[in-house]
Amino acid sequence: QDKHRFSGIVEDCCCNYETVDHLNEEVLHPILQELVKTPFFRYFKVKLWCDCPFWPDDGMCRLRDCSVCECPESEFPESFKKPFHHGLPLDDVVCQEGKPQAAVDRTLDNKAFRGWTETDNPWTYDDETDNAEMMYVNLQLNPERYTGYTGPSARRIWDAIYSENCPKYPSEDSCQEEKLLYKLISGLHSSISIHIASDYLLDEATNLWGPNLTLLYDRVLRYPDRVRNLYFTFLFVLRAVTKATNYLEQAEYETGNPTEDLKTQSFIKQLLYNPQLQAACPLPFDEAKLWKGQKGPELKQKIQGQFRNISALMDCVGCEKCRLWGKLQVLGLGTALKILFSDDGQENLAQILQLQRNEVIALMNLLNRLSESVNFVHQMGSAVERQFSSP
């Protein structure tokens, strides 16, 4: 059944599902997994503590303290201290954010990050200027997975994203531009849910982690459009990476560790000049078709504003690790949008494109996350479908 559902060309893209699965499993996923472990790509610069610009009276300060595990246990009422939960109740957002799995492990590497320029990204809200509030996070020590962040705080963010900033397009006949933002965010949302499902705290008492296939089905697989949007977003970001080949090939990946840096360059080349990718899916997404009509520039401006709002909303995410990955992945998407829509169809992208180091790190880590999600759906999809669709 799932074969029937997800066969043919990925909507608005240029490759079919089977090709994407095969290419990802055989080529992209293995390269990306190695690439993101290199010193250049594993450290992300981020300002994790910014005030939420949308709802200042939300009690963010309370959340802020708890998400860095600074809440003394004595702050919690006695009734919260149930067995096996180390004094923290399961259904309380504030306290769930104090769980170790929600906290960010900060690792500094002073040798990393030299020599890139700082140019503003019109698609994102982030202020990337270096200051004391910026920290470097080792992404390898902070995997995106289940954190226990749920309830009204999480729901409020997703509601604000979908209802105010990227409403579901009115009909199948809507133009590609109108669908774009919704599909990108929905694809990212699917990927976040898939990471929660693939690395879930199955038993808190014994600290047992593993896949939660019921959650995978309930949140993603039972909704075919969420799976389609995941593939769409993956191809969109992949296209951005291949479009920026000249830039990415020449970029400076030095971190002070020549052996590791050579590996980084080698993985980048393996990805950008991959003969299998070029043969099977040379144009994952065709951005040249967009913004063509009379309303093109106006639409683009509107969508850019909506995406900036979504980027700003990441400062309202009330769990530190979720905020880290939310910020990174939205910056990665913003970078893909910047690459694909900077040149207005002209051929001079290499001259006008300027990327920040952090944007490139976010872009590649996002691509890796999407690749992991596509892989997980491909590996688990059929079994889960069989299990949950049988009468």
Annotated binding site for FAD: 145, 147, 158, 186, 189, 219
Q: Is residue 318 a contact residue for ligand FAD (CB under 6 A)? A: no
Closest CA to 106 of 47, 176, 30, 171: 47
Name which position in 322, 362, 364, 377 contacts ligand FAD (CB under 6 A): 322
Q: State the DSSP H helix or E strand holding residue 387, giving kind and residue range, or none if neither.
A: helix 357-389
> Does residue 368 belong to the site contacting ligand FAD (CB under 6 A)?
no
Shortest approach of ligand FAD to residue 127 CB, angstroms? 19
Q: Whose Cβ is closer to ligand FAD: residue 145's or residue 269's?
A: 145
Among 42, 189, 369, 378, binds ligand FAD (CB under 6 A): 189
Question: Which residue in 146, 217, 253, 285 binds ligand FAD (CB under 6 A)?
Answer: 146
Within residues 219-278, the interface with ligand FAD by CB under 6 A covers 219, 226
DSSP 50-114: ---SS-TTS-HHHHHHHHTT---GGGS-GGG--TTTTT--TT-HHHHTTSGGGS--B---TTS--
| 377 near ligand FAD, judged by CB under 6 A | no
Binding of ligand FAD at residue 212 (CB under 6 A)? no
> Which residue from 35, 60, 277, 317 is in contact with ligand FAD, where contact means CB under 6 A?
317
331 scored as a contact of ligand FAD (CB under 6 A): no
Instruction: Identify whether the C-beta of residue 123 lies closer than 8 Å to the C-beta of residue 180.
Output: no
Distance CA 148, CA 98 (A): 10
Task: Establish whether 322 is a catalytic residue.
Answer: yes
143 SS3 class:
coil
Q: Does 160 bind ligand FAD (CB under 6 A)?
A: no
Q: Which is nearer to ligand FAD, 18 or 218 (CB)?
A: 218
Torsion angle of C-alpha atoms 143, 35, 193, 385, degrees rounded to 10? -120
Backbone angles phi, psi at 345, to 5 degrees: 85, -5
Q: Does 201 bind ligand FAD (CB under 6 A)?
A: no
Q: To the nearest whole angstrom, how small is the minimum distance from the Cβ of residue 323 to ligand FAD?
A: 7
Decide: is 149 part of the binding site for ligand FAD (CB under 6 A).
yes
Q: Is the dihedral angle over the CA atoms 43, 227, 307, 294 positive or is it negative? A: positive
Whole-angstrom distance between the N-terminal and C-terminal Cα of the chain?
14
**Binding annotation:** 145, 147, 158, 186, 189, 219
Q: Tokens at residue 308, please? A: 């900036």
Alpha-carbon gap, residue 112 to 288, rounded angstroms = 36
| Active-site residue, from 52, 166, 281, 322 | 322
Backbone φ, ψ for residue 65 (5° rounding) = -65, -45
Nearest to 137 by CA among 112, 100, 101, 120: 112
C-alpha–C-alpha distance, residues 268 and 367, integer Å:
13
319 is catalytic: yes
Q: Is 93 in the site for ligand FAD (CB under 6 A)?
A: no
Considering only 68-76, 115-123, 191-199, 369-377, which stretch makes contact with ligand FAD by CB under 6 A? Answer: 191-199
Under the criterion CB under 6 A, does residue 196 sit at the interface with ligand FAD?
yes
Decide if residue 326 touches ligand FAD (CB under 6 A). Answer: yes
Handedness of CA 114, 68, 124, 330 (dihedral sign): positive
15 touching ligand FAD, by CB under 6 A: no
The residue (of 27 and 50) whose beta carbon lies closer to ligand FAD is 50
Regarding 280 and contact with ligand FAD (CB under 6 A), the answer is no
Q: Contact with ligand FAD (CB under 6 A): which of 50, 60, 95, 157?
A: 157
Contact positions vs ligand FAD (CB under 6 A)? 144, 146-147, 149-150, 154-155, 157-158, 186, 189-190, 192-193, 196, 219, 226, 317, 321-322, 325-326
Instruction: Please identify every residue annotated as catalytic.
Output: 319, 322
